[in-house]
Amino acid sequence: MTASSGTSSSGAATPDATEETLPPQPGGEVLDEASSPDVVVSEAGESDEASADAQSTDAPPDARMDASAPAAEAGAEAEAGAACHPTIASPPLLPGLHVAIGSDIQWDSNPPSSGPHYPIWAAYQAYDTPVPRGYYVHDLEHGAIVFLFNCGDAGCPNVVAAFHEASDSLPDDPLCTMAGEGVRVRTVITPDPLLDVPVAAAAWGWTYKADCVDLPSLEAFAVAHYGQGPEDFCSNGTTQF
């Protein structure tokens, strides 16, 4: 199976119309000085703040560590997400015209998120070799989320595992389960050597790009844009490319 040509013969794309860099999620609420209550002094002359410090010091070490663990984990996740620089864009919608399989198609974004595509779409599953773009753009038209990666010859099993986790986080799709074809949700996971980033995802009219895996923002993108293509059904596609 060979990959089709991408956004252009060199894989370049025109600039996205709108773009938003996702901020890191806060690890916890921080009160400013104006909102913090004044320290109250007790009748014994010891401040409540000092008493609280003493009680905190008297607490078992394990208890103090357990209390700080959730905030520390949340902060680490936010830092990791910021390092991945996840970016969501909404390129202008292109007409979803059917073209002959193998045609050289020009899209306005990388990865493509709308526009001309082949008459047949890819089956909803994970692939080890690239699904040509003309097929997976048709999946987008049917409301699918397509998860994409470009990690070179070395591969990136951690990215693929995260894509599976993001796909698994989506609730069962009634259109798919009623079709009785063994499909739970409309997702495709595939390498795409024409990407200009290691990690990406696409929905009809939307793109997600990142330098590494940030699972919370990836899952949020999938939930927000799932099932929003102009053709909303779940008949399965082909694996013959």
Quick one: average pLDDT of 209-214? Answer: 97
Quick one: average pLDDT of 31-51? Answer: 40
Q: What is the 3-state secondary structure (H, E, C) of the chain?
A: CCCCCCCCCCCCCCCCCCEEECCCCCCCCCCCHHHCCCCCECCCCCEHHHHHHHHHHHCCHHHHHHHHHHHHHHHHHHHHHHHHCCEEECCCCCCCCECCCCCCCCCCCCCCCCCCECCCCECCCECCCCCCHHHHHHHHHCCCEEEEECCCCCCCHHHHHHHHHHHHCCCCCHHHHHHCCCCCCCEEEEECCCCCCCEEEEECCEEEEECCCCHHHHHHHHHHHCCCCCCCCCCCCECCC
CB 153 within 8 A of CB 195: no
**pTM for this one?**
0.70
* Of 219 and 45, more confident: 219
| pLDDT single digits (tens) 80-116 | 667 999 999 999 999 999 999 999 999 999 999 999 9
189 — phi, psi (to 5°)?
-120, 120
